[in-house]
């Protein structure tokens, strides 16, 4: 396999799908050598088989807004690969969603889910719907219209959706409620469900908690700790919330959060009250962080900028793909940042990743760092199958163990001759080998 040949074939077919091509290229570059040392992979043409999604559903989502007007959006589900288990992955409602977005996310999810070691394949869904400014009943009608189209293609043993940007507990509730009416069954077909009706404890916190546990492993390996470190977080959604909560609990000082309108610099650091306010802002559905600076003295709002210009020890991109670019990476390096952990999926551009690795900054990719979310989704599926639930402590302990195993897998495949850990290589090779081996064993 030659990366350039595969990429030029994909570019000819999918030249307009920039995010998908970016995600595939990163993985292929990481695995090229290992793949080529396994002639049986090449013989079975695993690469061509693995870069194409198994199937894609695209559909029109028609719903009525509060004024009674008909609204039309485009909905998708990309079932990428089920070599390791039922298709599994979140649903994103955001105006930027295209097929390219969901193909990149489904591709990444396949390897991320492999890293968790739980039996889950990879998928992703969503729609170009903007929840911003929508009323509760508009969101409900949209979720119902989305599921009216999708319900036949999902199921507890087939494809298990969950949340992502714009989809949290409320939306999962509406989608699950509608699915039940249509399918006339009550199974664990979604994860991220409410605690009272099949959800798992710790699921809302899991992505952020898992990311901070992973960062702790990275820091401990370099004989340091998150305590007393300054942290910049982007975003103020579910993932940013979990990360802020755990980092603060472990004694770090979270000095920044951000939104589409700009970022907040809070020199004193977040605390429980401020984190609770951040959730209030999110739930308001206005998509702005600026009001934080009006509420808390000493906090500053910087319009239309990202928090990567701040001097911090740790940067956690927690918002969306390609939110940290090459120039941001250069600024962080100049400011002597210790660690950048991608908590959003593909949060850093290839230029940013190259800069960070070239300067030997600790850097880990989303599919390792943010795997805690889907891991607890996997644990929610286990609990649903058992018709039983674990305590908070039990789930948290399992999450700890999974993040520690993922870190070990990254070390195994990512340690460079000079001792630097290339977590991108480590995560990509570990995830890829597992999926490729399963595909080979199951035949075509």
Known catalytic residues are: 124
Q: How far apart are CA 313 and CA 209, in angstroms?
A: 18
321 sits near ligand 2IT (criterion: CB under 6 A)? no
307 sits near ligand 2IT (criterion: CB under 6 A)? no
164 sits near ligand 2IT (criterion: CB under 6 A)? yes
How are beta strands 70-81 and 87-93 bridged, if at all?
A: unpaired
SS3 for 82? coil
Place of tokens 């288990």: 85
Site for ligand 2IT (CB under 6 A): which residue of 53, 85, 90, 173? 90
For 95, other C-beta atoms within 10 Å of its C-beta total 12
86 sits near ligand 2IT (criterion: CB under 6 A)? no
Residue placing its CB nearer to ligand 2IT in the complex, 92 or 306: 92
88 sits near ligand 2IT (criterion: CB under 6 A)? yes
89 sits near ligand 2IT (criterion: CB under 6 A)? yes
Site for ligand 2IT (CB under 6 A): which residue of 373, 414, 426, 431? 373
130 burial type by CB count under 10 A (0-12 exposed, 13-18 middle, 19+ buried): middle
Region of 13-21, 82-90, 146-154, 253-261 interacting with ligand 2IT (CB under 6 A): 82-90
Cβ neighbours for 131, distance < 8 A, ≥ 6 positions apart: 93, 139, 166, 171, 285
- Dihedral sign of CA atoms 11, 12, 13, 14 in order: positive
For 300, other C-beta atoms within 10 Å of its C-beta total 12
Region of 52-60, 84-92, 286-294, 298-306 interacting with ligand 2IT (CB under 6 A): 84-92
Residue number of the CB closest to ligand 2IT reads 90
For 420, other C-beta atoms within 10 Å of its C-beta total 14
Residue placing its CB nearer to ligand 2IT in the complex, 191 or 216: 191
**Contact string 374-413 vs ligand 2IT (x = CB under 6 A):** x--x------------------------------------
For 280, other C-beta atoms within 10 Å of its C-beta total 11
191 sits near ligand 2IT (criterion: CB under 6 A)? yes
Interface positions with ligand 2IT (CB under 6 A) = 88-90, 112, 162, 164, 191, 345, 370, 373-374, 377
């Amino acid at each position: 396999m030659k990366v350039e040949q595969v990429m030029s074939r994909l570019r000819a077919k999918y030249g307009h799908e920039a995010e998908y091509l970016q995600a595939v290229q990163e993985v292929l570059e990481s695995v090229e050598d290992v793949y080529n040392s396994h002639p049986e992979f090449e013989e079975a043409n695993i690469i061509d088989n693995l870069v194409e999604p198994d199937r894609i559903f695209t559909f029109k989502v028609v719903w009525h807004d509060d004024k009674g007007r008909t609204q039309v959006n485009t909905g998708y589900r990309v079932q990428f690969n089920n070599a390791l288990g039922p298709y599994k992955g979140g649903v994103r409602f955001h105006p930027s969603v295209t097929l390219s977005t969901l193909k990149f996310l489904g591709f990444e999810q396949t390897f991320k889910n492999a890293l968790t070691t739980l039996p889950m394949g990879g998928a992703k869904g969503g729609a170009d719907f903007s929840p911003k400014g929508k009323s509760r009943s508009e969101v409900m009608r949209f979720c119902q219209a989305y599921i009216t189209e999708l319900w036949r293609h999902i199921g507890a043993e087939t494809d298990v959706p969950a949340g992502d940007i714009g989809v949290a507990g409320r939306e999962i509730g509406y989608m699950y409620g509608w699915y039940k009416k249509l399918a006339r069954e009550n199974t664990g077909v979604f994860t991220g469900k409410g605690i009272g009706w099949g959800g798992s404890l710790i699921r809302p916190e899991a992505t952020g908690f898992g990311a901070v546990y992973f960062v702790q492993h990275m820091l401990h390996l370099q004989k340091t700790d998150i305590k007393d470190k300054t942290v910049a977080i982007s975003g103020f959604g579910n993932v940013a919330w979990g990360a802020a909560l755990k980092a603060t609990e472990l004694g770090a000082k979270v000095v920044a959060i951000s939104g589409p309108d700009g970022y907040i610099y809070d020199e004193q650091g977040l605390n429980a009250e401020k984190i609770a306010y951040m959730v209030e802002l999110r739930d308001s559905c206005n998509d702005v962080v600026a009001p934080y600076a009006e509420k808390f003295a000493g906090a500053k709002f910087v319009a239309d900028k990202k928090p990567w210009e701040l001097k911090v020890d740790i940067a956690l991109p927690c918002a969306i793909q390609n939110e940290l670019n090459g120039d941001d990476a250069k600024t962080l390096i100049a400011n002597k940042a210790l660690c950048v952990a991608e908590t959003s999926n593909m949060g850093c551009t290839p230029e940013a990743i190259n800069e960070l690795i070239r300067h030997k900054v600790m850097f880990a990719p989303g599919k390792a760092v943010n795997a805690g979310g889907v891991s607890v989704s996997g644990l929610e599926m286990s609990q649903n199958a058992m018709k039983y639930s674990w305590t908070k402590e039990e789930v948290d302990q399992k999450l700890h163990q999974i993040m520690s195993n993922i870190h070990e897998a990254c070390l195994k495949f990512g340690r460079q001759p000079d001792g630097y850990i290339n977590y991108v290589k480590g995560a990509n090779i570990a995830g890829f080998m597992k999926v490729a081996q399963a595909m080979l064993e199951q035949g075509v």
